[in-house]
Amino acid sequence: MSRLIWRSWSRRLATGIDRVCYAYLENFRERSQALVQYRGIPRILSVKHSERLFDMLLDDDENFKARLLALAPAALAAGKTRFDCGGAFYLNVGHTDVDLDRLVRWVGENRLRAIYLIHDLIPLTHSEFCNPSSVDRHRGRVTNAIAHAAGIITNSEASTQELQRFAELEGLRTPPVIAAWLAGAQFARPQAIPFKAPQHFVCVGTIEARKNHYLLLQIWRRLAERLGEATPKLVIIGQKGAQASHVEGMLERCHIIGDHVVTLSHCGDEELGRWMATARALLMPSFAEGFGLPLVEALQVGTPVIASDLPCFREIGEGIPTLLDPLDAVSWERTILSFLENGPDRSRQLRLLRDYQAPSWKNHFDGVESWLKTLPHHEAHHLEPVSRGARSSGGNSKASLEGRAVAIDGADF
């Protein structure tokens, strides 16, 4: 929840990891209490205060700050810093503070079974795209997760293999691991969209060096020189991230692409869905990914994909996307030009997309919850729904999570 609290507080658009956090909150909220931190001290909120916080996060309205400030004093006062949780699960699916030894110790001392979702190992496998502090933090996260978790969730077999390779290099033994694909946002299909757009390609994701936007801008410069007014639009949808100065510089100063490249940093789901569903193709020339939600989202609305030849894309693309070397600009340009028309590979994708079944959150959670039941436990609560009508008074539980099965990771209030 810490990511979601910060996201609602700052009013920034949700990232891929944020979307996963929302899905977990939706799925487990009926059986969960919130674990938050105040001045570095973890505490578990009562059912009553947890439900109010969950409601606020899912409502995500303009009054979030005021509502949170009104809730915090009573919620923190009633929250408990010491519980005998009897083996209940602690779910942390946003990488929050997993690198902090004090949190790991607290989880163990209160008899919680930690379940961490590791989204990727990119800071460790591709540290050139990250600042040194983020590399150190992620090493701490992954190391602590391997050493102390009751189980680890990954988003793909590719991520699982990266995790296992890291564990072997560090001389660590991995706990039980499950790879569970993520589901994308539900966009309307093209025929349901009253939207007129020029011929365009779309690139979705944070604007950072790892995503390789610079390759696309160089290609669009060449296309503009060759095609002039017939150049298709490149629609870049994403917020600015790390190491993006060269991309920003080209967007600001390369006037030849000015009429052909559109950047949208504050694009809601409805608008994103329109651009994606009407695109000639989604472009994902990334150097590294853990999963790639935009790829799944494009395929589920019937939009072809041109992406880097990465293990995770080979896995989740199920043979549909056109996969290219992210350094081979010539092949990318040639393929983009062929997708302007219904070339052979675009036609191939469109045929395969008729029968495509996108990953679903139902399948994700069916797999995860079945797996959770196989993990070793002592006096653990069953993962059974608790009636919303049967709530105990806030802050009075001393021995358990008030009948709840899960503590969801929390923020520093």
Report yes or no: 152 and 145 within 8 Å, Cβ to Cβ: yes
At residue 391, the pLDDT reads 31
Residue type, 398: K
Interior/surface letters 2-11, b for 16+ CB within 10 angstroms, e for the rest: bbbbebbeee
Q: From first to last of the 413 residues of the chain, give the pLDDT tens digit.
A: 667 776 777 777 777 788 899 999 999 999 999 998 887 788 899 999 999 999 988 887 788 888 888 988 888 888 888 888 889 999 999 888 899 888 899 999 999 999 999 999 999 999 999 989 999 999 999 999 999 999 999 999 999 999 999 999 999 999 999 999 999 988 766 555 445 667 999 999 999 999 999 999 999 999 999 999 999 999 999 988 878 888 999 999 999 999 999 999 888 888 899 999 999 999 999 999 999 999 999 999 999 999 999 999 999 999 999 999 999 999 999 999 999 988 999 999 999 999 999 999 999 999 999 999 999 875 433 333 333 333 333 333 333 455 455 666 654 55
Which of these, 213, 191, 190, lies nearest to 203 by C-alpha position?
213
Number of C-beta neighbours around residue 196 at 10 A:
7
Q: What are phi and psi of 33, to 5 degrees?
A: -125, 155
- The sheet carrying 305-308 orders its strands as 261-264, 233-237, 200-204, 282-284, 305-308, 322-324
Distance CA 16, CA 111 (A): 31
Distance CA 281, CA 225 (A): 21
Enumerate residues 6+ apart whose C-beta is below 8 A from 263: 207, 236, 237, 251
Helices then strands, counting H and E runs in the chain, come out as: 16, 13
Half-sphere exposure in the Cβ direction for 176 (13 Å, CA):
15
CA dihedral 23, 17, 364, 111 (to 10 degrees): -80
The CATH superfamily assigned to 190-353 is Glycogen Phosphorylase B; (3.40.50.2000)
Residue type, 133: S
Report yes or no: 402 and 392 within 8 Å, Cβ to Cβ: yes
At residue 398, the pLDDT reads 38
Helical spans, DSSP H, in 228-310: 245-253, 269-277, 293-300
Retrieve residue 89's tokens: 């699960």
Pairing type for strands 322-324 and 200-204 reads: unpaired
Alpha-carbon separation of residue 322 from 86, 101, 295, 310, 312 (angstroms): 49, 43, 11, 11, 14
Half-sphere exposure in the Cβ direction for 170 (13 Å, CA):
18
Report yes or no: 239 and 264 within 8 Å, Cβ to Cβ: no
Report yes or no: 329 and 219 within 8 Å, Cβ to Cβ: yes
At residue 9, the pLDDT reads 75
At residue 406, the pLDDT reads 60
Distance CA 188, CA 270 (A): 8
Query: Domain boundaries in the chain?
Result: 2-183+360-408, 190-353
Measured on CA atoms in the order 227, 228, 234, 240, is the torsion positive or negative? positive
Residue type, 249: G
At residue 411, the pLDDT reads 47
What predicted TM-score, i.e. pTM, was given to this entire model?
0.87
Distance CA 115, CA 152 (A): 6
β-bridge partners, 305 = 282
